[in-house]
Amino acid sequence: MNTNLITICESETILKLTSENRKLFEMLEDFALRNNSVMRPVIENGEKVIKAANYVGIVKLNDGTVIEILPKLAGKKAGSFSEPKKLVYQMLSALLGIPYNDRDTVDMNETFLEYFISVFARECMKIIKSGLLSGYVSVEENMTAVQGNILFAENIRKNLVHRERLYVRHDVFSPDRAENRLIKSTASLMMKLSKSHRSSQNLKQILAYLDDVKFSADYDVDFSKCVNTRNAKKYSIVLNICRLFLKNHNFSEYHGKYVAYAMLFPMEDVFKSYIAGLIKKNVHKTVKTQINGEYLFSKPEMFTLRPDIVIYDEGKPSCIVDTRWQIIEKKNDISADDMCRLYAYAQKFNCSEIVMIYPESSEKLTELPECYCVDSDEKIHIHIRFAQLYGNDKSVISP
């Protein structure tokens, strides 16, 4: 059992202040005050506690403590984290384009951070065994024979008393290219984060294979150089994981003076992306996300309307899909604001079929009608659907 691991689900209590954990509470409270959208200190039953918000992810403190926040599922037993962990693997894998097998055994003493590290190591070894990509790199150095172009100014400055040398610029065929630099930088970062002996050994092996490759000096520049050509296609999964780790490493969004690393995702965005991917996979029509261009008020243009997903048929919107990460247990849990927003979508986009998707509930809500007819002419239909979070449930997108 990892005593430095705190695993909870979103909206649950992370830590309660006691005389024994005062230092840990202060470190976590500092992070919560700096990032109150992720977690917040509150008074509950007269006691000071820190509660999680609607985010999932990992926060690693400088003392080695890891806080793992998982999705909250309807019907989940208290203290049971197997299903939420599987859901994180599945949804983030779909979001990031990472292969996922739902038959894999979930290690309850391992964070999902370790899961992505293990996938990274496995995919890197596939690339190494098939052969690292190499390219020509310009090198400037002293040599005893002419190779490439002599840099006369530099040669005079560096070799005034060494006439036997020549300072030249020439091209060498080297594995030191953008993709491999990003892999090396990610593997090095993972070495600091992983507590798994097996993953650490695999990462050491990867770094040994990349001994002739430099670390990335600028992540954004190197990512811009990664072109998805036929030869580089084998790198796509690994580079997706590199983006996940390296983009979070700059602490531009989530930070704190006691935090060693933070990787956090709003569940609204994760759920939205997961449903969008599911629709794109199963609907053989044009599917677009986060559409702009329509406003609630036209003169002057105010209050942008931005539906999550729009399905087009022959160039016209045939169905608009919105998502909400909220457990619906009864009819009154459905927000009137959400329904009004869907009506505005229908009017402004001239679309009669609207679908609102929530995560699956613990039981069938028989009190909900098949669809809501907005007006007496029944021209606008709003459907409520519940997404099965395991497997491809096509019914969520069928009006």
Nearest-angstrom CA–CA distance, 42 and 203: 40
| CB 266 within 8 Å of CB 253 | no
Q: What is the CB neighbour count within 10 angstroms for residue 322? A: 19
DSSP characters for 34-67?
Answer: H-TTTEEEEEETTEEEEEE-SEEEEEEETTS-EE
pLDDT in tens, 275-293: 888 888 888 888 888 777 7
Please give the average per-residue pLDDT across 138-148, as a whole number: 71
Can you tell me the mean pLDDT for 4-22? 89
Q: What is the mean pLDDT of the chain?
A: 81
Q: Which residues contact 222 (CB under 8 A, 6 or more apart)?
A: 178, 179, 181, 182, 216
pLDDT (tens digit per residue) in 338-397: 888 888 888 888 888 889 998 887 666 666 766 667 665 667 888 888 887 765 555 555
What confidence category does residue 103 fall into, taking pLDDT thresholds of 50, 70 and 90?
low
pTM score, whole prediction: 0.76
Using DSSP, state whether 141 is helix, strand or coil: strand
Backbone angles phi, psi at 225, to 5 degrees: -85, -10
Question: How far does CA 270 lie from the centroid of its chain?
Answer: 8
Place of tokens 């986060």: 290
The residue with greater pLDDT, 330 or 101, is 330
Torsion of CA 240, 242, 243, 247, to 10 degrees: 160
Confidence category of residue 265, pLDDT binned at 50, 70, 90: confident
Specify burial of residue 267 (Cβ count, 10 A radius: 0-12, 13-18, 19+): buried
Query: 333 Cβ partners below 8 Å, 6+ apart?
Result: 326, 327
pLDDT band at 251 (very low <50, low <70, confident <90, very high): very low
Give dist(CA 393, CA 268) in Å, integer.
19
Residues above pLDDT 90, as percent of the chain: 18
